[in-house]
Each structure stands twice: as C-alpha cells, then as structure tokens.
Structure 1
Amino acid sequence: MRNLSLTKQQLVAALISMSLGGVAQAALTINGNPEASARVSWGGADSLSEARNIMYSKSSTVSRSNSGSDIKKVDNGYGTTNITNASSYGSSNNRFNNSNSYNTTYRGSFGSSDMIPISTDSRSVAVIDAETGESIYEKGADIARPMASITKVMTAMVVLDSGLDMREELILEPEDFVGPKRASSRLKSGDRLNRAEMLLMSLMKSENPAAKSLARNYPGGYDAFMRAMNRKAQELGMTTAFFGDPTGLDKRNVASSNDLVKMIRAAGNYDVIRRFSTTKSYDFYVANYASGNRTYSANNTSSLVRSGSYPIGISKTGFINEAGRCVVMETRVNNRPAIIVILGANSSATRWGDAKNILNSLASRRTV
C-alpha cells in the first residue's frame, strides 16, 4: 500500500467524515475509487498510510443488531469481529451521541483457567480478555494510582463528545504551558493548529500544551472541561478515578488499573482515538505569526507502536515521577481482543518488558 501525502485539509476532512458517518468501517472507498477498499488496521500504520484510507473515505455505514443497538465493528484481517456493544458515535443527527450506555461491565472472574502464566515487575497490571470479559491477569489492579498522561485518553473522549468543530483554529496561550509540573515541549506560545491537530498532538506525541488548549477551548472553559472529565469517569463506572487536569501532569489524576480498563474499552468506540493514538509519526505544519511558521516532526511515544511488531488498536503512554512509567493498550492476538494496563513501572525497560511479556503470553494462549 503506497503512502499518501497528508495535508491539514485532509486531517480536517478525516474528522468530518468520521463524525458524519457510522462506526462500522470494514470496507471503504479509497480516494474516490469504488473498486479500491481497505481493511481497518489494528494500529501502527506507517505514517498514517492505512489510517488515511479509512479516515478520508466518504463511504461509511452503521451496522445494527436485531435489538437496534449499534455494534462497533473492527476488521482486523481475519474477518469482522464485534468488539463492543455501544451507542453510536457517528450518527448523522448527533456526531458523538453521549447516551451513557457504555459496555464496561465484565463477566468472568479472576482465577479463570485461562489466566496467563506470567509475572510482572510493574506495580499495577490488569489484562482483560475483551471478548469474554474475563480478567486473565491482575496485580494490584484495584488500587488507585497516579496515571500521568494516560489522562489524555479521557481528555480526547470529552473533546469528541462535545461535537466541536475540528476545523477551528486554536492558538496556544502562555497559560497552556503552566501546570503543576515543569514539562518539556517543542510547542510555543502563539502556535496555531486546528482542533483535530491538537488532538492528534495530544494522543500521539502527548504534548501537554495541546491538551491544555483543548480543555481551555471547551464550552464553559477549562473548569467546565474538568467537570466533564470527572462526570465521564462516573458514567463509565470508574469508582476510583479523579482528574485534576487534562494533561496528567497533576499527581492527583488517579485511577486503578481495573478502572482504566473501563476507560480504554469505552475509548474503543471512537475511531478517531484508535487512529490518532496508533499513528507512528506525523509532520505538523505549525503557524505562528510572531516567531514564524515551521514543521514539527513528531513520533509516537510508544516504542511498540513505532516498531509495528505487535497489533495495537489503542495506545497511550504516561510518565511523571509519582506515577512511574505507564502504558495502556488494546491489542488483538490469535484473533482475540485484549486490554492491557500497566502502571508504576520503575523504568521504561520495565514497562516495555512487562508489555512484551504479556503480549507474547497472549500469543501462546489457547483460544478455544
């Protein structure tokens, strides 16, 4: 599959196309050619090549079950599989219909015969078989811990729920660089990006000023955004969760690994989050009237996404001193979906070592 050039207009068109269409996108028109179609990839698309074919398609459909509820469909190359039962996030009447009917209740119990035989070094770990709902590995999974930039997944959901214009240009202000901690950033005050680009910057590169700007430009302002984040957590049944800022730099941002599983499962209903969080790299064109325009070349913060060695459908990393190294992801191994949450690793090597250990164990796990 050839790589396609990506412009700001195309990025905007991606969000518009997804907001006006449905959530089931297994076979879509590419570049207006009805003879060409693409499968939904499980993340890690080289420079957005596969994601573009889906995101920029003008064709999309909504699949409904007999009961009338929308069913999220993901085609991973082995045939279409139902991942979640949820309300639509792409009806023509309401771009992101927040009806609070997320499927975040899990069947099964810890101690199943399907438990994966591993040990991990991170402080808190949860692995859920997303098909059966069973917990297949837990370690300190009910203890609330700082989550760092895992926060930005919730930030993205609240932004998308708002139905705000993704074409609107946002300007970074000095206050977007002020937070509970000092954090490095290659962005500058006065930088101009549209809302879609700010969201991609937040999920892929984990740029804190971009997430702050998204919250500041929410209806009712920053405080209203924070209330919406905590309200969303309650709606998802995240009983241990609290959000004090939209970036994750605030150590008060906490949740248990089991609650973060619920958040990632809900995030799976947003194709934008799937595509943006698993984008390997992107060259942003940043306008700045004071300091001049420039190109910002950014890479995904996840080494697993960048390597493309594993099928990853959602990904987000995080780090502050209080949280340690963290990562959440959704994956599909042996045609079985799983959600993985790792919190409190004492080093990057520990975090990725635990993640690979889990992924490799899932690959050898029986599937019948």
Structure 2
Amino acid sequence: MRLVPMLRRLFTASLCCLMLLSSSVFAAPKIPENQQLLASQSTMLVDLDTGKTLYSEAPDLVTPIASVSKLMTALVVLDAGLPLNERIRVDVSQSPIMQNVISRIRIGSTLTRKEALALSLMASENRAATTLAHHYPGGFTAFVAAMNAKAKALGMNNSHFEEPTGLSSHNVSTAADLIKLVLAVRKYPLIGKLSSAKNRSVTFHRPRYSLAFYNTNPLVNRKSWHIELTKTGYTDDAGHCLVMLTKMGHRHVAFVALDSYGKYTHIADATRLKKWITTGKSSPVPDEALAYKLKKRAEHEQLSAQQENLLAVP
C-alpha cells in the first residue's frame, strides 16, 4: 500500500522547516535544497570537528533506547578502574528482568572483564553486561546508581537507567542526550575499539568452552565505512536504534537514530545521510516506514497530551 502523497508532502515540508532552523546544515560542503527524509523517529548528526548540528529531527524526544544503554554500562565499568584481565563469574541473579532471558553464555562460567565488555558492546550480549554490573563495587544496585549519576554529570537531563542491558523500557534517553554520551565515550578509545570489531571468539572457563560472536552492526563489514564506535539496540518498545562515531564525506561525525521501523531501517538511514552529506543527493524512504513513523509520532503526541492533562489537574 502506498502512502498518501499528501502525507509525504507534509513530512517533507516539516523536515525542511527543521533543517532551516539550523544554518550549520548549509555549511561546506554544500547541502542541496532538496532535503533528506529519514525513517527513524528521532535523529541527530553532529560534526565532531566543529560541534555543529548537521541534521536533527525530534532530538529531544524521550524514548526507550534498548541496548544503546550498554555504552553507559561500559563507561561506568571503565570509570571504576577495575582490572580488565580479572576473570569474573557470569551472574544475573540480582537483575529481575534477566531471569528468563536466554543466552549462549552459561551461568557460573567465567570470562575476563574485558571480554565481558567486548561482548556487551560488539554482540550486545545481555548476560555479559549484567555480569559486569554484578561485579561492580556494591553490586547491581550500586552499578545502576552509578549509571544515573554519570548521566547527570554529563548533562543528560532527559535520560534514566534502570538496568545495564536496555531490556527495560524504562531505560530512556533522547538523541541529544546520546550525543553527549558519545562525546564522553570518545575519550575512552577501548570502547570504540571493542564496539567496532567485526567478530570475537571467547574461551570461557568452569566449564571450558569457546563461542564465536559477531557485531550487530553490519556496516563494520563494509569497506566504504570507517566506524570508530558503534552500538545498536532493539526492543519492541524502543524499535531499532543505532549510535555511531564515523565519517561521512570528509566529516568526522556522531550519529544517533532512535526507533526505526524494520530490521535494517536504522542502517538504511545512516546510509541515506552519508550519501546526502557526501554527494548532495537524497534517497527515498519506503512508504511503509514513513507510515510507521506517522503512527508512532501520533502515539507520542497523544501520550504527551495525556501527561499534560494529568499535570493540569489541581
């Protein structure tokens, strides 16, 4: 079913207004008059060298962020200065949301803290991320408190974390806040290195077994992309999410896309923006993806109206 043409024109007009609000969009290299639509609900693209916003749509929309949460998990682990070569036991006992989550990693086996970090970032392994929290000074509860304290310190005022994996729909943030997180993570080269690896094999002990893991972002396998850091995420509530430090044209950029429709739409949005920034040519967005975006936008607006009405009750 094709999207009603009027709705497509409405999206184009709205996006043009958003683009005109940021004069930096038209900085060199020249950005064309025709604007690039994206399928994600909330997006932000920032030039790391100038600090200018090259593209944004609904950057302050508060939404679940799924496994993008694991970037904060990694930051808290490294801030604690815990030994990365220490072998830690796989443990999820303090996390209620993890009790029925299936994983290839066996409860009670051991791996190094660095390996747990790598699997959390590259393969989005939930047991690995939760294990990191369990082996934090003070345990799981202290770890979550540290996540929220770090968010506050970074000025992520519209963000909140309830656990380290992102499985909880109460792990929320905005594209603008996640740009702040990415800029902080950029100071930790190990996070970028581990998150952008194509694959990794890990040998566990007690019992001894080996498993191969692969990056959840297929762009790391493409020669046309230079990715310094990446994190994907998905839950039913969050949709598909993507955060990257990468290059688009001659620009070093930070990119955030939240709540995308379809398994590869967040990847496609990154590709559309890269083409637009590099060549000035826009690419179409599938009608079904825009229809999903319209539906979700209406749901967000309805929820916001309900919240305002509740606040208005004396």
Same fold (TM > 0.5): yes
Query: Structure 2 residue aligned with 1:264, among 152, 165, 182?
Result: 182
Q: Does 1:327 align with 2:242?
A: yes
Q: Does 1:110 align with 2:28?
A: no
Distance 2:232 2:271 in 1: 15
Distance 2:178 2:163 in 1: 16
Partner in structure 1 of residue 226 of structure 2: 311
Distance 2:271 2:248 in 1: 12
Partner in structure 2 of residue 342 of structure 1: 257
Name the amino acid aligned to 1:185: S
Partner in structure 1 of residue 156 of structure 2: 238
Name the amino acid aligned to 2:68: I
Partner in structure 1 of residue 278 of structure 2: 363
Q: Where do 1:139-288 residues align within 5 Å?
A: 139-173=57-91, 175=93, 178-179=96-97, 182-288=100-206
User: Residue 330 of structure 1: CA displacement?
Assistant: 0.7
Q: Is there any run of 5+ residues in structure 2 with no aligned partner, and where?
A: 1-20, 281-314
Structure showing the higher helix proportion among its residues: 2
Q: Secondary structure at the match of 1:122?
A: coil
Distance 1:349 1:248 in 2: 19
Give deviations 1:144-196, integer Å, cap 9, x for gaps.
11000000000001000100111211111352775168544211112210101
User: Residue 209 of structure 1: CA displacement?
Assistant: 0.7
User: Residue 347 of structure 1: CA displacement?
Assistant: 1.0
Q: Secondary structure at the match of 1:341?
A: strand
Cα separation, partners in 2 of 1:334 and 1:270, compared to 1, 3 Å = same
Cα separation, partners in 2 of 1:174 and 1:154, compared to 1, 3 Å = closer
Cα separation, partners in 2 of 1:182 and 1:136, compared to 1, 3 Å = farther
Distance 1:306 1:179 in 2: 32
Distance 1:262 1:181 in 2: 32
> Is the Cα–Cα contact under 8 Å of residues 316 and 328 in structure 1 kept in the other structure?
yes
Q: Secondary structure at the match of 1:229?
A: helix
Distance 1:334 1:325 in 2: 25
Q: Please, which moves more after superposition, 164-173 or 301-310?
A: 301-310
Name the amino acid aligned to 2:22: F
Distance 1:260 1:362 in 2: 21
> Which TM-score applies when normalising by structure 1?
0.66
Partner in structure 1 of residue 293 of structure 2: none
> Is the Cα–Cα contact under 8 Å of residues 257 and 343 in structure 1 kept in the other structure?
yes
- Determine what percentage of the aligned residue pairs are the same residue: 35
Q: Secondary structure at the match of 2:145?
A: helix
Name the amino acid aligned to 1:164: L
Give deviations 1:250-276, integer Å, cap 9, x for gaps.
100111101101101111100110100
Bigger RCO of structures 1 and 2 (CA < 8 A, at least 6 apart): 2
Distance 2:188 2:224 in 1: 23
Distance 2:267 2:82 in 1: 36
Q: Where do 1:29-40 residues align within 5 Å?
A: none
Q: Please, which moves more after superposition, 347-356 or 248-257?
A: 347-356
Q: Secondary structure at the match of 2:60?
A: coil
Q: Is there any run of 5+ residues in structure 1 with no aligned partner, and where?
A: 1-108
User: Residue 222 of structure 1: CA displacement?
Assistant: 1.1
Detail structure 1 runs of 4+ shifted over 4 Å in the superposition: none
Q: Please, which moves more after superposition, 181-190 or 227-236?
A: 181-190
Give deviations 1:42-86, integer Å, cap 9, x for gaps.
xxxxxxxxxxxxxxxxxxxxxxxxxxxxxxxxxxxxxxxxxxxxx
Cα separation, partners in 2 of 1:183 and 1:345, compared to 1, 3 Å = farther
Distance 1:216 1:351 in 2: 31
Figure out how many residues of one structure are paired with residues of the other and give that number: 255
> Which TM-score applies when normalising by structure 2?
0.77
Q: Secondary structure at the match of 1:150?
A: helix
User: Residue 288 of structure 1: CA displacement?
Assistant: 2.6
Distance 2:98 2:206 in 1: 26
User: Residue 130 of structure 1: CA displacement?
Assistant: 1.2
Distance 2:118 2:166 in 1: 16
> Is the Cα–Cα contact under 8 Å of residues 241 and 255 in structure 1 kept in the other structure?
yes
Cα separation, partners in 2 of 1:180 and 1:251, compared to 1, 3 Å = farther
Cα separation, partners in 2 of 1:110 and 1:181, compared to 1, 3 Å = farther
